Amino acid sequence: MLMGIAAAVLAAVSWSMSFIVPFVIGEYSLFDFALVEFVVSGLVSVLLLWRNAAAIRLLSPADWFAACSLGVIGYVGYFLAVMGAAVYAGPVIAPAFLGLVPVVLAVAGNVRQHTVPWRTLAVPLSLATLGLLLVNGSAFARSGVVELRSLLVGIPLAILAVTLWTVFGLMNQSALAKRPLMDAGVWTALIMAGAGLAMLVFLPIGLLLGLFEIPRLGLGWGVAAPLLIWGTALAIVANVGGAMAWTFASQRLPVALCAQLITMEPTCATVLGLLVHRRLPSVAESAGMVVLLIGVLIAIGIFTRPATSAAEAALVLAQDASGED
């Protein structure tokens, strides 16, 4: 379990690096970056699959479909929903909604698995919610007014992004539970292959909508170096590395605990954002990060604490289900 916790934290930290992308890719759009990132991820996945040819031959069509679907839902689908939410609802409101992912996933995961009594999750979930509100609250205070018409499109897209990532977390854990011997590297490669193919399918649509700047700016090294370097680096570190770490964690941890550990992503993203803007955190941001960390530590303690007896644990769960004290 401790190795699973370390892997989940590593995944969250690697994913947080994506939040600095808008500050380093120049005039290119985030869709240009996504194209580079997911295509490189797909190429890396082909290499991983080639190196594990013996394991690949044992995969069924259902394995391919399940993993590739996860790549479409949890990576490309989620990314497009996030970008649409940011365009319409603004760069502040959209991330604030996405901060709900750990709480929603924790609740959905425990509804599905009922790993621990709800009363024991009340404190860490409350702390996670409060911490996320504190971290994002100051951003709301600094944000400008967004037109109602844009919000009517942007907020549903943000909710869709939260839904997609929650579905991804539940589906991934369920699929791996049915495949206890699945190699984490092979599963990650299949997910990234699905994401790469989905991004290539989206490419002509994005070109028609004018979402890409590559046709105008080109891919000359003098202009595109930041795009290519960061896209390749995050494809390897955040996409492939993060997905592999998450797969490793999902094979060892309940969904509810994984969800609590995802709160490290917005915390690390906040730290990176402060570094980019070269400023110190506000009191609210500092308090929010501390509260989030306390909530994570309490959640880890709940899931790693050995039960005094199986009978006692079963009794508590039964009482929780029936609503008795």
Tell me the pLDDT tens digit for each residue of 257-292.
787 787 777 677 777 777 777 778 778 778 877 887
Domain ranges of the chain: 2-322
What average pLDDT does this structure show over 94-105?
70
Q: How many CB atoms lie within 10 A of CB 210?
A: 11
| pLDDT recorded at residue 312 | 45
What average pLDDT does this structure show over 150-172?
84
What average pLDDT does this structure show over 238-264?
84
Both tokens of 15, joined, read 């994913």
| pLDDT recorded at residue 41 | 93
| pLDDT recorded at residue 215 | 93
| Helix locations, the chain, DSSP H | 2-16, 30-51, 53-56, 61-71, 78-89, 93-98, 101-113, 118-142, 148-177, 184-209, 214-217, 221-234, 242-250, 255-262, 264-277, 283-304, 310-322
| pLDDT recorded at residue 228 | 94
Tell me the pLDDT tens digit for each residue of 110-135.
777 666 677 777 887 788 778 777 76
3-state secondary structure string across 213-261: CHHHHCCCHHHHHHHHHHHHHHHHHHHHHHHHHHHHHHCCCCHHHHHHH
| pLDDT recorded at residue 141 | 55
Query: Does 107 score more than 80 pLDDT?
Result: no
Mean pLDDT, the chain, as a whole number?
Answer: 80
Rounded to the nearest 10 degrees, the angle between the axes of helix 2-16 and helix 283-304 is 150
Q: How confident is residue 39, by pLDDT bands cut at 50, 70 and 90?
A: very high
Higher pLDDT, 154 or 313: 154
| pLDDT recorded at residue 137 | 63
| pLDDT recorded at residue 217 | 93
What average pLDDT does this structure show over 157-165?
87
Higher pLDDT, 141 or 88: 88
Whole-structure pTM value: 0.76
Tell me the pLDDT tens digit for each residue of 46-69.
998 998 888 888 899 999 999 999
Both tokens of 95, joined, read 């991330």
What average pLDDT does this structure show over 203-223?
93
Tell me the pLDDT tens digit for each residue of 304-325.
665 433 444 444 444 554 554 5
Query: Does 303 score more than 80 pLDDT?
Result: no
Give the range among 28-32, 87-91, 102-106, 143-147 with minimum mean pLDDT. Answer: 143-147
| pLDDT recorded at residue 148 | 61
